[in-house]
Amino acid sequence: MKTRTLGQLGPKVSALGLGTFSFGGAYGPTDEAESLRALDAAWDHGITFLDTANIYGNGIAETVIGKWLSTRPHRPQVATKAAFTDDPKRRVDNRPEFLRACLEASLKRLGVDHVALFYAHRHDPEIPAEDLAGTMQRLQTEGKILGYGLSEIAPYTLERAHAVHPVTAVQNEYSLWTRQPELGLIQRCASLGVAFVPFSPLARGAFGAPIPDPATFAPAEFRNRVPRFQPANWPHNRLKLKAFQDFARDLGRSPASLALAWMLDRWPHVIPIPGTRSAGHLADWIGAPDITLTDADRAEIDRLLPIGWAWGDRYDEAQTALAERYS
């Protein structure tokens, strides 16, 4: 597995990380044994960067990773996130005492004394970015985190936080069907020496093979809330995805690996974190860093999936309200 640097001064990590959102059941029922097999497969394939959060299954994902770490000799770089609350009046909280308490709980579930990267899962508009950076700086000085990150933010928040204490990474949604970060955020990360970590780089499974069928989604599954999978939009999206899948097949690639290769080819500071709880699904895209695209490949991908091709929003209204917008 090829490597990339996690921020200007951060450690070397695998060019692909593993996202663990699905470990907590967000994409349907799962179990601990399946998730442990996925972690084993990821390590065996050279993945050294794991991404999780305290809300993934209300601590389930972190607990599974903690069990894996306690029973294996492997020592990957682990990133986790916190900011969401159970309080409907304050859905996001970046106050120092809240983030500290969340981090301590995460470290306990993970069974470690520090993590490589700790993100504010969302920016709390009541807390200035400068104050958030100061909180993270103190946690780093104490050795509880090696670096900090911000998630679903706009470029101006990155600039304000980075001016107080250098940001290690920004994690926003980015894929061939969600390209808003190209409107300045990815470029600003590059100029500041900040890693950009795309979550949902496979469009929440849309680039899988076979193409998912929303009619089969479990009732409580996260994607049922995503407008792009709903009946008014999905048939149009599926047609585009089918064309891309056919092109990938003509190249002898899986659609998932080609979608990741496109991203890695465009940006040297990008470290995607495709998520899966299945060792089999992981094998479908693990070879993406070794794919070399030609100019003809790039042009055909641009033709098949031009910017803005996806029908529907990436979030419902409640989810959108928690992400910073800058366009």
Cβ atoms of residues 170 and 192 within 8 Å: no
Rounded CA separation 254/261 (Å): 11
Alpha-carbon dihedral 52, 159, 14, 16, rounded to 10 degrees: 70
158: number of CA atoms within 13 Å, CB side? 30
Query: How many C-beta atoms surround the C-beta of residue 321 within 10 A?
Result: 11
The tokens 């990474």 sit on which residue?
169
Residues taking part in catalysis: 56
Q: What is the pLDDT of residues 249-290, one digit of tens each?
A: 999 999 999 999 999 999 999 999 999 998 989 999 999 999
Cβ atoms of residues 135 and 167 within 8 Å: no
How far lies 167's CA from each of 159, 226, 264, in Å? 9, 30, 21
Residues 6+ apart with CB under 8 A from 57: 23, 24, 25, 26
314: number of CA atoms within 13 Å, CB side? 24
Predicted confidence band at 30 (pLDDT cuts at 50, 70, 90)? confident
Task: State what percent of residues in the chain have pLDDT above 70.
Answer: 100
Judge if pTM exceeds 0.85.
yes
Predicted confidence band at 118 (pLDDT cuts at 50, 70, 90)? very high
Alpha-carbon dihedral 200, 316, 244, 292, rounded to 10 degrees: -30
Cβ atoms of residues 174 and 152 within 8 Å: no
Domains of the chain, first to last: 3-320 (3.20.20.100)
Does 327 have pLDDT greater than 80? no
Rounded CA separation 273/225 (Å): 21
